[in-house]
Structure formats: structure tokens, C-alpha cells
Amino acid sequence: MTESNATQAQHEWWRGAVIYQVYPRSFCDTNGDGIGDIQGIIKKLDYIAELGVDALWVSPFFKSPMKDFGYDISDYRDVDPIFGKLTDFDELIAKAKQHGLKIVIDQVLSHTSDQHAWFQESSRSKTNPKADWYVWADAKADGSPPNNWISIFGGSAWEWHEGRQQYYLHNFLKSQPDLNFHSDALRQQILHELEFWLQRGVDGFRLDAINFCYHDQSLRDNPFKPVEKRTGRGFSPDNPYAAQYHLYDNTQSENIAFLESVRALLDRYPGTVTLGEINSEDSLKTLAEYTQGKTRLHMGYNFELLADEFSPHHFLHTVGALEEVIGEGWPCWAVSNHDVTRVVSRWGSGKHNNDFAKMALVLAASLRGTLCVYQGEELGFTQADIAREDLQDPFGIEFWPDFKGRDGCRTPMAWDTSSTNAGFSDGKPWLPVDDAHRRNNVSVQQQDPESVLNFYKQFLQWRRTMPALVSGEINLNTSSSTDQLLVFRRTNHDTEIHACFNLSDSTAVWNAAAGSQIALGNGAKRNDNGTIELGPYGFALCI
């Protein structure tokens, strides 16, 4: 490899990487207030590094009134006191690098908290220097909102502001006003906010709701969507939000130029990366558009494998549809995160949970692309059942009991058996520690060679040695896949890996390629006739 190629490979560390998502509130608390903090992440860096991941994605830790638990930012450049200080974050970056780990942080650019100084100024008058930094609009003649746009969190996406005598747009909570990216000054300021963190040494950004930056300036109504067309991606299909085609409140063409300005900024900091969260009417098409060429996002992150659908057909359709349009773009996959039901509960049958957790990891990590793993996945955690009186998530409080919110996937990590609150905190946790997680904690699994945790470590170490899985091409085998079996092939130069996953809780048989050997498997055995028998949620990777 030439020096220039070696440099390029180093700068593209993210291709095929495994990124571990830390939700700070629930990871580890070091000061006894019941809320995880940055020092808690530092304390557990050995644990994270031993998993064999390449980077940490740290969910928001910025100053915030916490109406949406950090996704409502009141100061892009400061750490909220509940998580620590800016010096703690600097220490995290330094010590992560000592462990060989990259740091990717969330950036919530489409909206701020209504407590942000920008909004406070913007709301004072229609003529102040930041008057157009947020999306303001006059009421209709009858006093009603400017159009029919709906908030994901319920109700109209418009909130009346008595001081300005106008409505402001909020695609999420009413305390999360949308920024106006049609303002040149606002866009330039956002780039300055990003550069603040690049100068502190972060390795990249996960860009939250990045397709929500722009809105249609004509404020056209969104069309009605028939019931049979409604799907849930980051929200329930029963949510009124699903009753519209969201053509005008997000994913506008002007966003492309902004993404290119973000990429130009990061190109000045070699080795840094952008990962955009994309949830649009056609997320795969938008992902391909947003990652096209080398002037836009490095990777796209979508909700297609964070939905309820679970079948070989869904995987073949989703991966195939993306591969058809993405070209030289690079996908990023996840099967769990802080917004959706944990994968073992969402897709599993409630039986064979450990086998399912292992299979889910290998499946996601065998697709072409980068993988995000959410804290607790490596322990096979199921969704926690949160009592109504313990709910914290405004999304769940609004739609209870039809939708119980996101708290069930955000409960604290369980580290050991003997300590208070399973080692998460000496104080009362902000959410209760789940009893099943307490029994299945890190220390217990570290001692069990067959645990999900030890399997994660072994598999991720093995995957590093397999270029076909890290960076190879993918070929979807639609003829060999069945109602139970998902089959595909990964290739890299002379190496070929045939992968088969049993997505059911009953035994299935795979007619594997003649002469192939099982390089890695779980619940898999070769029969005398050459077929491979896969137990419930079993899998086999053959060479």
C-alpha cells in the first residue's frame, strides 16, 4: 500500500467500523445523583475498548433544560452540569484516544431549546438581528396555524408566541423551535458551532434529524396519506403524524447545499466523519442522495431496520433497494438505538433470547456498511417494562397507553450484582434498573464463556480479520432465501463468505454451497447430505 493510499485508509477508518452508542444518562453515574455522566463513560472505557468496537457515539450531553433529555439544546458549546464540565469532555477525548477509540458526538442542528439565547432574542421582535433565525409565520385570518403540519410528538407543529404575535414551527416538542436554515447568518453560525467541537478533537458527528433542517418557504399543506399507506419509522403508525405525506415540512432540496458546506468544513479536519440520521418519505432514496459523491455526508443512518418488520423479505427488500441507489455512498446500519424498542423484544419471540441477540449482531455486522451498536445490545438486554408512574419520556406520556414511549430502551446499564442499583449509581436512578437486566449484568456475563457479552467480543475480534465482512461487496441470494432463511454473500478479491440466518424460532435447513466450511456459527450443524441445519435463530458463515 502506498503512503497516499495508507493515509486515505486511515482517514476512512469509518468504513466497516463498529460504533458503540453511549446514552450518557443511563451508562454510569459517578456522583450519586442517579444520572449517568461523562466521568462514568471515562470509568468504563476499558469495558468499551474490550468489546472490540472502533468508536463511541455519545448522545447529547450539552446544556439543556432536558425537556427531551438533551435533544433540546440551550448551548451548543457547553456541557450540562448533570453530565459534568467541558474539561471532563476533553478528558474523555484524550483517554478514548489512548484506548484507540474515536469519539463521535450527536449534533442536533434542526432545532434548539426555547431556552437557547438565540430563540430568546429571535422571539423579542420581528426586526432584531436574529429575527429570522427561527421559522416564524403569521396566523391565518381566523387565527389558526399557518398550515396543517403536525408535530411528531403530537398536535400542530405550530405554537403561538404572544410576544411576536406569530406562530413558530416545531417538528418535535413545542419547547424545541425549528431553526430557519434559509437564513444565511444562521447557517454560518451552525458551522461555527460544529467547528468548536472539531477543534476540541472530536472525530465526527452523528447529525440528528438532518433532513429536517429546511422547510418549504411557501408553507404548503402536506397531503393526506391513506390508512393503508401509513408506516411507522421513528414513530407509531397510529400517530397522527403518519396521516400525512411529509413533502413540505422536511427533506427540502436546499438541504443538499448545506450538507456540502458541512462536508467542506470536515474535509479541513482529516479523518473526521459525518453520520446523518435520515427519516423521510423515502429514507433510502434520501440516504443515497445525501451520501452521493465525496462532497456530502460520509454515511447515512436510517430507520428501516429499526422498524417492527422482521422477515427475510424485509431484509432483502431494504438492503437490495439501498444497494440499487446508493452507488459509491456508504450505508450505516443499526437494529437498536435510544428511540426504539430493543431488538430482542422487537423482533424476537420471547424464546431463545441469547441466541437471538447473537444472531442479530452477526446479521447486522455482516451487511455491507458500518454498524452502530446500542449500549446493552452486547448483553442481550430486552425492553424494560416501565410503570406509568415512572415514565419520563414526553413522547410516551403524550401517547400512553397506545405508545409507551422510549424509556423502556433507556433504562440504566447493569454492571454488577452486589452494588446498589446494579452498579449504575449510588443514588436513585432517573429510571429504574430492570430486574431482568440486573440478573443478566456485565459481571455475570463476563464469567460465562457462552454469554452474549463474550460472544460479542469474540465475534468482533474475528470480524476484524475478515476483509470481506468489513469492506467487501454484497450479493443478495434471493433464490436461496426462504420464509425462514436469509441468505447472502460477501466477497472481497479472492475471499467469499456465504451467510445464512434463520429468522425463525424453529429449525430450518440450508442447502449450503458444496464444499464450503462453517467458519463461524451458532446453532448450526452440517448433515451427512451436505445441508446445514440451523436451530432457532441460528446462523452460519461459510467459507
The Cα–Cα gap between 163 and 204 comes to 38
Phi-psi region at 100: left, alpha or beta (left = phi > 0; alpha = psi -120 to 50): left
H helical segments located in 279-428: 283-290, 312-326, 343-347, 353-366, 394-399
CA angle 435, 428, 38 (to 5 degrees): 100
Catalytic residue selected from 68, 88, 178, 208: 208
Catalytic residue among 29, 178, 249, 277: 277
C-alpha cell at 4: 497516499
Q: Which among 339, 373, 374, 344 is positioned nearest to 234, based on CA atoms?
A: 339
381 contacts 27 by C-beta, under 8 angstroms: no
Catalytic status, residue 75: no
Q: Which three cell numbers stand for residue 194?
A: 460544529
Helix crossing, 312-326 with 283-290: angle to 10°? 30
- Indicate the residue type of 291: T
- CA 477, 478, 480, 485 dihedral sign is positive
Given the C-alpha cell 477525548, which residue does it identify? 93
C-alpha 303/C-alpha 336 separation (Å) is: 9
Q: 303 to each of 133, 232, 326, 447, how far by Cα in Å?
A: 29, 9, 16, 35
Tell me the torsion sign for CA atoms 415, 421, 427, 431. positive
CA quadruple 347, 287, 322, 474: dihedral sign: negative
The Cα 517–Cα 221 span in angstroms is: 57
Q: Which amino acid is at 477?
A: N
Cβ(364)–Cβ(334) below 8 Å: yes
277 annotated active-site? yes
Q: What is the DSSP track for 147-199?
A: S--B-TTSSBSEEEETTTTEEEE-SS-TTSPBB-TT-HHHHHHHHHHHHHHHH
CA distance 126 to 310: 50
Does the bond joining 145 to the residue before it have cis omega, within 30 degrees of 0? no
Cα dist from 476 to 312, 471, 507, 514, 535, whole Å = 11, 16, 22, 18, 22
Catalytic positions are 208, 277
